[in-house]
Structure 1
Amino acid sequence: MKRHLSAGKSLALLAVLGLGGSLATVPAAAQEPKSPRVEWGRCPDDVAAEAAPTELRCATVSVPLDYTHPEGEQIDLTVSRLAAADPDKRRGVLMLNPGGPGGSGLALSALLVARGLPSSVTDRYDLIGMDTRGIGHSGRFSCGFTQDSPYYSNIPPYAVDDAAVTAQAKIAEQTAEQCAANDHDGRLRHLTTANTARDLDRIRAALGEEKTSYLGYSYGTALGAAYASMFPERADRIVLDSNIGDTHLDRDGIRRYALGTEQTLPDFAKWAARRHDSYGLGRTPEQVRTSYLTIAGELDKAPVAGIDGSLFRLLTFGHLFKQTQYPQLAQTWQAILEGDETALRGLSAARQETPPGAPSPNDNALTVFLAVTCNDVEWPEDVRTYRRGVAEDRERYPLFGAATANITPCAFWPYAPAEPPVEIDAEGPRNVLLLQNRRDASTPHRGGKMLREKFGDRARLVSVDDSGHGVYVLGDNSCALNTTTRYLVDGEMPARDTSCRAD
């Protein structure tokens, strides 16, 4: 059995965890866009390969780069379709978003089908995936990140002290400057959640649909909440899975990653304690937690095989997303405790072996995450604010708080938000189903409760006694699966908030 992650998967994990002047006016949300109908054809080769054996059809939809000038420059968004399997039962389209911001969604329908999306859903909906603006096949944006760039993850590194925050501030400022320098035509400022929600409505119109249903995961919940708020009369059945708590990701949202880590690591600790004879990480959950703190502290002092305390904490955070990743995480911890540098070297090999200046495969994901996150809302600019936050969260959330509270490039972002963040509209139809695991490292249960409160009677919250990131189809809880499927198929919204027991 291999005792390390492949370098490619490790670096991909790190990346996902990837306005010079204000615009004078904001376009009216209710105005029906005029879009030509789409013409379906072959998908790009990489999308077809990722979706195989499911066959998708793809098309492009033109949308304004700047919605304050709708007749100005247009950008082409690539969308995919898995047509409803039973035309007699078809009721509409279900748009999909995998999160990020920065994740490609063109093959998401195929992934969900492979994971067991019920045929009662695929019979009734055209599943519509897409690369949202700036991503992949939809006008890819780039800050020019390379394999040897000091900025390799959108989660800041763990700051062991004030000096580490100051050092990270320099990297954050350089990163913001690099993005500005690569924004040759001033397009980066138009990457926002509000603009992407407007794009969704353009796609809906191009598909010839009066309304659209929607299933979004992680950051996709922010996008879906924005769409349901900006276009309540056009939003059909909305499912928001693993909620970040608002229509945007702000500093408080990223700091909640530390809360999620504190709530989720105990599940791994119980798992590892039951397997102490195999991995040697501790005979009790408390001992496993102590092993984490000990390993991290030792790596802060002396990295092993290119892995320092910051990377160790980030790898642990990412592996808490799914229980199926626990064995790999246990292997990594065990290799560190045993000083097995051969097993660990693969985690950092790609960054060490590629030539200087080689493009990062995660450049696009890193870029879009930064642009949307920084463009959506104002961030504190004073480094002292982040020093205080790191000190607070190091005490509150010792596992990961000094990372998620650390400074980001948003503090130095060259563009001011073009408009305020989208406000949740609680006055629309009761059509928002919120799904939330009780223990989720990146979107803790609090995010679902926050969105439930903001949507009021428009929403119902399904809380699942489970651990990990992703509930519907991506998780393994029969209650949540059945509740969501009933809603999508029959429109049966729970009468009240629901708790699903562990299977």
Structure 2
Amino acid sequence: MKRVTALLIAAVAGAGLLTGTATAAQRVDWKACGDKDLDAAGAQCAEVAVPLDYRQPRGRAITVAISRLKATDPGQRRGIMLSNPGGPGGPGLGLMLEVRARMSPDVQARYDLIGMDPRGIGRSTPVNCDWPVGNMLRSAGLDRAAFERNARLEAELARRCADTQGETIRHITTRNTARDMDLIRAALGEPKISYLGYSYGTYLGSVYTQLFPHRSDRIVLDSAVDSKRYPGEMIQDMGPANEQALDDWANWAAGQHAEYRLGRTGKQVRALVEDLIRQAARQPIRIGDFRVDEHVLPMVLFDGLADVRENAEFAGSIRQLADAAAGKTVRPNQALERVLGMHYLKYPQAQQSGMAALMCGDASSRRNPERYWRDIQRSRTRQPVFGPMANNLNACAFWAPPVEPPVIVRNPVPALIVQATGDTRTVYDSGVDLHRAMSGSRLVTLQDVRTHSVFGFYPNTCVENAVNTYLRDGLLPGRDLTCRGD
């Protein structure tokens, strides 16, 4: 068993837990990444040894994989910028390849851009619980029998993680990932880190600022998570946001009735969608290699509503599902094939037990199924499609208690928070609340746009100027800023 023999503990606080800085004498050995895109871009990769349990820093070690795109001008280099794509549980080695095109040349000149597969994910001692499904987030279904069937599955998912991963999985947490980031900083010989995080990655980034405020340099948090509502209430917040998004999309689709034949009014389109769920409850809809049931179909809808630019593609997917429900032989389009393949484990990377490890290990969840059932029933009137998803129990209800309490972020560390008002995953109010909790931050609002993850993913000159100015000069806007769609 490998051990971290090169750690020099610099600060220990609270019941013997390591919460301060660790420096590493370990040598970081950069080499080719073995990934076509990263290697073509000239990136290098390395592994950094970190303690599995920071309370036992000389105990078992695991490795965290990182990538590096060097600053383009060593004379202007400021330091390193770590990153996280969200998830929770998203691999991030290649994230900066996607994002750097929207970074101005002088920002690219200043930073070594560091991608990272967080602990338990991708190349970083990955969690694999041998699940029979891809994702623990599912809809409860239409009736009590469906709810109980799903609850049994969620209990089975938690049991498999406990059986296959043992104590290891209890240390796959955001708090420990933030500690890993600080150890990476030390191993690279840097006094501070800058950071760019999306979605769940904003929680990770804000947790880092809470644990290591004096090591935090320029912090950008895009599509932000409110630490007080993560993870359970964060999911509940998705219900109303996605119902509104469904109405917006349905009105759009009604205007395209000649092409998609989903209904001439928004109400008719919504009625068709709700009827598809009822049909899937009576008998799963066969489409291609998949049988889509009432637990997964709302997740397909959730995926399709994330970005307004996907309206047409999503309408095509719903048309295909409606045709399949009518008994036609249908091969799913690329978007539908992708989302169903993730839920039904068609792809090797589809199993999301790493997400469960983080969400369930970060904070305790309610245990009593009756409380979930009552919340689901109360939600059905106003949230007929997404209430049974957003209020449903998941594997966390059957998980072992967290090793440490959740991190509640409240600090004056400067940061730039970017949030779209139409975000269906991390709702707008969560960005507002994180802005209040981080008193040194500024909020950039992308007004009246339905999208999730903005900088580098949703082109917007106003947002890009604000982010690039801050990363280049360290200058936050003088006041909160509202951007409109280009």
Q: Are 1:30 and 2:20 matched, yes or no?
A: yes
Which is further off, 305-314 or 458-467?
A: 305-314
Q: CA 1:248–1:228 in 2, change beyond 3 Å: closer, same or farther?
A: farther
Secondary structure in structure 1 of the residue aligned to 2:348? coil
Note if contact 2:300-2:340 (Cα within 8 Å) is conserved in structure 1: no
Note if contact 1:35-1:202 (Cα within 8 Å) is conserved in structure 2: no
Question: Counterpart amino acid of 1:488?
Answer: L
Note if contact 1:159-1:406 (Cα within 8 Å) is conserved in structure 2: no
Which structure 1 segments of 5+ residues have no match? Answer: 1-22
Secondary structure in structure 2 of the residue aligned to 1:467? coil
Note if contact 2:48-2:64 (Cα within 8 Å) is conserved in structure 1: yes
Match of 1:342 in 2: 329
CA distance in 1, matches of 2:460, 2:338: 36
Match of 1:13 in 2: none
CA distance in 2, matches of 1:95, 1:495: 25
Deviations 1:409-428 (A, max 9, x none): 11111x211111112132x3
CA distance in 2, matches of 1:247, 1:36: 36
Q: CA 1:340–1:474 in 2, change beyond 3 Å: closer, same or farther?
A: farther
Question: Counterpart amino acid of 2:470?
Answer: Y
Which of 290, 315, 337 is the matching residue for 2:300? 315
Which structure 2 segments of 5+ residues have no match? Answer: 1-12
CA distance in 2, matches of 1:235, 1:473: 22
Question: Counterpart amino acid of 1:168?
Answer: N
**1:247 positional shift:** 7.1
**1:337 positional shift:** 3.1
Secondary structure in structure 1 of the residue aligned to 2:113? strand
Q: Are 1:381 and 2:380 matched, yes or no?
A: no
Question: Counterpart amino acid of 2:476?
Answer: M
Question: Counterpart amino acid of 2:398?
Answer: F
CA distance in 2, matches of 1:284, 1:464: 28
Q: CA 1:35–1:160 in 2, change beyond 3 Å: closer, same or farther?
A: farther
Match of 1:126 in 2: 112
Secondary structure in structure 2 of the residue aligned to 1:389? helix
Which of 364, 384, 391 is the matching residue for 2:377? 391
Note if contact 1:85-1:124 (Cα within 8 Å) is conserved in structure 2: yes
Match of 1:197 in 2: 178
Secondary structure in structure 2 of the residue aligned to 1:396? coil
CA distance in 2, matches of 1:478, 1:239: 16
**1:362 positional shift:** 3.5
Question: Counterpart amino acid of 1:256?
Answer: D
**1:226 positional shift:** 0.2
**1:398 positional shift:** 2.0
Secondary structure in structure 2 of the residue aligned to 1:33? strand
Deviations 1:418-471 (A, max 9, x none): 111112132x33x1111111112211112112212222x222211112111111
Deviations 1:41-100 (A, max 9, x none): 111x2xx22436422101111111110011111111111000011112211111110111
CA distance in 2, matches of 1:102, 1:217: 12
Which of 424, 448, 453 is the matching residue for 2:436? 453
Coordinate RMSD, CA, aligned: 2.6
Question: Counterpart amino acid of 1:100?
Answer: G
**1:257 positional shift:** 1.8
Match of 1:11 in 2: none
CA distance in 2, matches of 1:343, 1:117: 42
Question: Counterpart amino acid of 2:295?
Answer: S
Question: Counterpart amino acid of 2:380?
Answer: R
Secondary structure in structure 1 of the residue aligned to 2:195? strand
Match of 2:7 in 1: none
Q: CA 1:434–1:263 in 2, change beyond 3 Å: closer, same or farther?
A: farther
Match of 1:144 in 2: 130
Q: Are 1:253 and 2:243 matched, yes or no?
A: no
Secondary structure in structure 2 of the residue aligned to 1:272? helix
Note if contact 1:383-1:407 (Cα within 8 Å) is conserved in structure 2: yes
Q: Are 1:433 and 2:416 matched, yes or no?
A: yes
Note if contact 1:279-1:331 (Cα within 8 Å) is conserved in structure 2: yes
Secondary structure in structure 2 of the residue aligned to 1:342? coil
Which is further off, 76-85 or 119-128?
A: 119-128
Q: CA 1:252–1:289 in 2, change beyond 3 Å: closer, same or farther?
A: same
Q: CA 1:193–1:292 in 2, change beyond 3 Å: closer, same or farther?
A: same
Which of 55, 60, 64 is the matching residue for 2:42? 55
Question: Counterpart amino acid of 2:29?
Answer: E
Secondary structure in structure 2 of the residue aligned to 1:343? coil
Match of 1:10 in 2: none
Q: CA 1:381–1:66 in 2, change beyond 3 Å: closer, same or farther?
A: same
**1:200 positional shift:** 0.5
Which of 61, 72, 85 is the matching residue for 1:85? 72
Q: Percent sequence identity over matched residues? A: 36
**1:302 positional shift:** 3.4
**1:24 positional shift:** 8.9
CA distance in 1, matches of 2:212, 2:97: 27
Question: Counterpart amino acid of 1:321?
Answer: A
CA distance in 1, matches of 2:228, 2:221: 11
CA distance in 1, matches of 2:385, 2:371: 21
Secondary structure in structure 1 of the residue aligned to 2:329? helix
CA distance in 1, matches of 2:330, 2:423: 28
Q: Are 1:159 and 2:141 matched, yes or no?
A: yes
Q: CA 1:468–1:378 in 2, change beyond 3 Å: closer, same or farther?
A: same
Note if contact 1:268-1:326 (Cα within 8 Å) is conserved in structure 2: yes
**1:499 positional shift:** 1.5
Note if contact 2:178-2:204 (Cα within 8 Å) is conserved in structure 1: yes
**1:117 positional shift:** 3.2
CA distance in 1, matches of 2:472, 2:41: 22
Which of 377, 380, 386 is the matching residue for 1:400? 386
CA distance in 1, matches of 2:272, 2:345: 36
CA distance in 1, matches of 2:21, 2:339: 48
